Amino acid sequence: LHIRVEDELYNNLNSYSTRNEQSIQDCVREAIAYYMSNMRKRKTVKKINKFTFIDLFAGIGGMRIAFDRAGGQCVYSSEWNKYSQQTYFANFGQQPEGDITKVDEADIPDHDILVAGFPCQPFSIAGVSKKNSMGRATGFEDKTQGTLFFDICRILNKKRPKAFMLENVKNLCSHDKGRTFKVIKESLEELDYEIFYKVLDGQSYVPQHRERILIIGFDRKRYGKNINFEFNLAPCDSKPVMRDILDKEVPDKYTLSDKLWTYLQNYAAKHKAAGNGFGYGIAPLDGVSRTLSARYYKDGSEILIAQKGKNPRRLTPRECARLQGFPDTFKIPVSDTQAYQQFGNSVVVPLMGEVAKLIINKIDRLDEEGTGWKKVI
């Protein structure tokens, strides 16, 4: 695609490219994607959806699918990774905004629910401890400044959605001897939200052992403090197994080379002799796999599929999508390497969808009780 532009526009584009440390090609692609997103918004007939939500640290849109299915309308999304942006745009026709740290919270549309699968960054506790020892109060900005969690806090503080749902790795609870989670919980409570959290495993919905912590919050200023919430997930009719998500025919390129397979076997034997549990994992066809990670593209060792007369193989990107509960209609426009990282960083879509339903049902009950403000449109 060749584009002819005037000198002044080129100079401005070149300056923008330098400031944002992006290639001109990426800048132009981003601009076109934003333009197409805006055109799509203009042509879309306004729907009367059950609720609105925003999708922060959106990745490839796993959370969006879950909340869309629950009857929601996404009014804003943010994701900084350009490859994830490509996948998001290919599937939703909207370009997520880039670096959330540079976004003014006042410019984000009003919404009912904030959804975020935020990265876990280290929190500085020293400054907080010093202020506490001096008898000085500390607000959420003092505790979380400099972390991406702070961006969630400032948006909650400004927009005050009815509720939020945050997702992270289960080790968030024990990170830094529990101090990180303590800061997160206190910061959200100081913003006047009633907090509920639980570690959930996605293996009831997909054939994968995948534990993640979900943090749910409801606005006390809107609903008061007498709020109860239970993670009462509906039981699944039938538990899926690995063979349910596998393709019948898979290209040979996904079969491990002799060199890699020998290395993985030797590596596993070495650690087994040392009493460690490290090593490759052959997924049971009638069971569940280990957790899919973003490093899967390196060797696929955590989830391998046995083959008759051949070395084991890794999953295909489409099989990884199914392992996370994405529909087969979900488009994968990026390379295998990027796709493995994207699905490894994503969420179990049907599990998130079930939790989304619980949140919506709770909000509906609270609104019916007459304790809430008029619904944000």
Token reading at 232:
């009462």
Q: For 279-291, how does the pLDDT look when each residue is reduced to its tens digit (9 = 90+)?
A: 899 999 999 999 9
Burial class of residue 65, CB neighbours in 10 A (0-12, 13-18, 19+) = buried
* 176 pLDDT above the threshold of 90: no
Token reading at 140:
């959420």
Phi, psi of 139 (to 5 degrees): -95, 180
Residue 367 CA: distances (Å) to CA of 215, 226, 356, 359, 362: 21, 14, 16, 12, 9
* 374 pLDDT above the threshold of 50: no
Q: Higher pLDDT residue, 235 or 140?
A: 235
Whether the Cβ atoms of residue 267 and residue 278 lie closer than 8 Å to each other: yes
Residue 376 CA: distances (Å) to CA of 42, 43, 202, 361, 367: 21, 22, 31, 16, 12
Q: How large is the average pLDDT for residues 2-26?
A: 72
Confidence of residue 173 (pLDDT cuts 50, 70, 90): confident
Confidence of residue 341 (pLDDT cuts 50, 70, 90): very high
Q: Which domains does the chain have, with CATH numbers?
A: 1-45 (1.10.1220), 48-237+347-368 (3.40.50.150), 248-315 (no CATH)
pLDDT at 8: 62
Q: For 348-372, how does the pLDDT look when each residue is reduced to its tens digit (9 = 90+)?
A: 999 999 999 999 999 999 998 865 4
Q: For 205-238, how does the pLDDT look when each residue is reduced to its tens digit (9 = 90+)?
A: 999 999 999 999 999 999 999 999 999 998 777 8
Confidence of residue 6 (pLDDT cuts 50, 70, 90): low
* 315 pLDDT above the threshold of 80: yes
pLDDT at 188: 95
Q: How large is the average pLDDT for residues 53-79?
A: 97
pLDDT at 34: 56
Whether the Cβ atoms of residue 31 and residue 82 lie closer than 8 Å to each other: no
Q: How far is CA 184 from the centre of its chain?
A: 18
pLDDT at 11: 72
For the annotated catalytic residues, the residue numbers are: 120
Closest CA to 186 of 256, 241, 137: 137
pLDDT at 376: 43
Residue 230 CA: distances (Å) to CA of 173, 203, 219, 363: 19, 19, 16, 13
* 278 pLDDT above the threshold of 80: no
